[in-house]
Structure 1
């Protein structure tokens, strides 16, 4: 896996250098589109996914390719994740930030076998930070092993977005949070939010929408670093035809249990 890990990282850095960063703060109006309500796609997303597809296919020809933009055009492609070996690609995570010319945004890749994430990579093109994890082998940042840690704040620091919470559930969630968590601004980029949990910036995060390209690399990264990411009922995050809703990520299993008791029980 080491040679493959390095090759994927090199490919992602090349795509960041050659495709993504030249478009950053340099997009023409016609190069940004709304693919669904509130969801943007740019020419850089499409070009980056194409380059990643080409490179990953050369690295592991037996694996399929499932990309965010390909699934936008054909949602049935997501079904492939439930069976067989597949690359899962998010060419630009945090496209809204990227299109607005502000950080953070990330390039994310995962290798998935029959719905289980085997390895994941998250690259911050602006800083060059690379987060990597492999199933059963731990997590690293820029090649150095990393262990998740809590912030140590009096109130756990929580990144919680209410954007996709059903209106009828929103006030109840707000009531449960009040006085129990210190709310932090969310980065609107899963490729940044998951590292914040491992690095002790945030203690936990709650995600309502859990599309696979947004969460497969980060969930594995936190779990392999010693934190915990799971569905609200405690079941593991698996990929497949059903995108599912709801996920809790925390810097430790104890923090996960504490947050789940407050938020879901």
Structure 2
């Protein structure tokens, strides 16, 4: 194992430990009455636990790597001097958390030179830790995992998510109207990070969504890629806020063609 890979493996371990700090807090608070406010729309929620979990993650990382940068969904921003920046989503799927519904997780990723090199997504309800580092494969609870092999695109189980903005949701419904007759079925879990990890472990064949933020997909995209998924935007570039796509190789090309035909990135 080379020096860089060794460093990435250490960042993977730290990402999992940091995410675990928040996950342990969430296990005892899921579905409890929370102080809730809205952000970009009435359905875009933030709770006191989002803020508390992000603070706990930042404190943990700062204690271990004080020179690193930080970017968190709930406003934690710090420039670092080490070349490493942590991208944090303390609760990806807050609406699920508020309702006590499965499908939310904690996402922590380490970025160097503009590339995510390590990440962890923890599911507090299923007690699953999805982790990866660049070039080192992907794991769930420490065991290697890969995407589903083989598969018929016409039977593919495809995960997606919907925007908090009402007009964008209408457009996303139009895309589903074109896609659904051509595939096996759609799954809507409610957290992009968990969706991407479910591609990685083979629970779904593919995932796509438009309008995500970096903290939504940073760790999940790396985990899916290291598990063997095709990850990109709609037109062959890297995943971005414009479009995130991840799929098992056997179904990736035909699903991309269907999504391109539906202009799935037009919002």
On whether the aligned pair clears a TM of 0.5, the verdict is: yes
Structure 2 vs 1, CA of residues 234 and 3 (structure 1 numbering), >3 Å: closer, same or farther?
closer
Q: Indicate the SS of the match to 2:86.
A: strand
Give the match for residue 256 of structure 2.
Answer: 260
Give the match for residue 33 of structure 1.
Answer: 37
Instruction: Give CA-to-partner distance per residue, 1:199-255, whole Å, 9 cap, x none.
Output: 2221111111121010011111111111111011111136xxxxx311211022x42
Question: How many Å separate the matches in 2 of 1:151 and 1:188?
Answer: 26
Give the match for residue 160 of structure 2.
Answer: 160
Question: How many Å separate the matches in 2 of 1:87 and 1:66?
Answer: 6
1:247 partnered with 2:244: yes
1:232 partnered with 2:234: yes
Shift of 1:131: 0.4
Structure 2 vs 1, CA of residues 234 and 4 (structure 1 numbering), >3 Å: closer, same or farther?
closer
Contact 2:91 2:107 in 1 (8 A): yes
Question: How many Å separate the matches in 1 of 2:11 and 2:180?
Answer: 45
Contact 2:23 2:124 in 1 (8 A): yes
Contact 2:88 2:215 in 1 (8 A): yes
Over the aligned positions, Cα root-mean-square deviation in angstroms equals 2.6
Q: Indicate the SS of the match to 2:256.
A: helix
Q: Indicate the SS of the match to 1:184.
A: strand
Structure 2 vs 1, CA of residues 65 and 161 (structure 1 numbering), >3 Å: closer, same or farther?
closer
Give TM-score, length-normalised by structure 2. 0.83
Give the match for residue 9 of structure 1.
Answer: 16
Q: Indicate the SS of the match to 1:235.
A: coil
Give the match for residue 117 of structure 1.
Answer: 116
Contact 1:87 1:112 in 2 (8 A): yes
Unaligned residue ranges in structure 1 (runs of 5+)? 72-76, 239-243
Question: How many Å separate the matches in 2 of 1:169 and 1:161?
Answer: 12
Question: How many Å separate the matches in 1 of 2:228 and 2:72?
Answer: 28
Contact 1:105 1:124 in 2 (8 A): yes
Give TM-score, length-normalised by structure 1. 0.84
Instruction: Give CA-to-partner distance per residue, 1:132-189, whole Å, 9 cap, x none.
Output: 0111111111111111114736521112345468478557624531431122231011
Shift of 1:59: 1.9
Question: How many Å separate the matches in 1 of 2:222 and 2:157?
Answer: 21
Give the match for residue 265 of structure 2.
Answer: none
Count of residues in Structure 1 that have an aligned counterpart in Structure 2: 249
